[in-house]
Amino acid sequence: MLERLSSYDDLIDHVVRSTTLPRGEAARVILDVLAYFDETTEVFVRRRHRELQAGGLVNTEIFERIAAELPHRAVAPPELSLRQLRRLVYG
């Protein structure tokens, strides 16, 4: 973790200068954001399915929403059909 942070020293410094966050908190936020964007398509689909299901949505709504969200990811994956999304969750 420390090795990864050292490569982002300039970003951490920028966040500290542009916010009221102390250095340690800025570094934690940056690591959280990086972890979010490191998420694979499969992990993202499974996580969003759990979140939306916990929010009371049914699978029809869930998979349509996930399909609509995927193209807006920082690095958009190839377009996946609703069937392919279901397979990522249920195998």
Q: Is the dihedral of CA 64, 70, 71, 72 positive or negative?
A: positive
Q: Show me where the domains of the chain are located.
A: 2-38, 41-90
For residue range 32-46, list pLDDT tens digits in order: 998 888 889 999 999
Of 91, 43, 83, the residue nearest 67 (C-alpha): 83
List pLDDT tens digits, range 53-84: 999 999 999 999 999 999 888 777 788 899 99
Q: How many CB atoms lie within 10 A of CB 33?
A: 13
Q: What is the pTM of this model?
A: 0.65
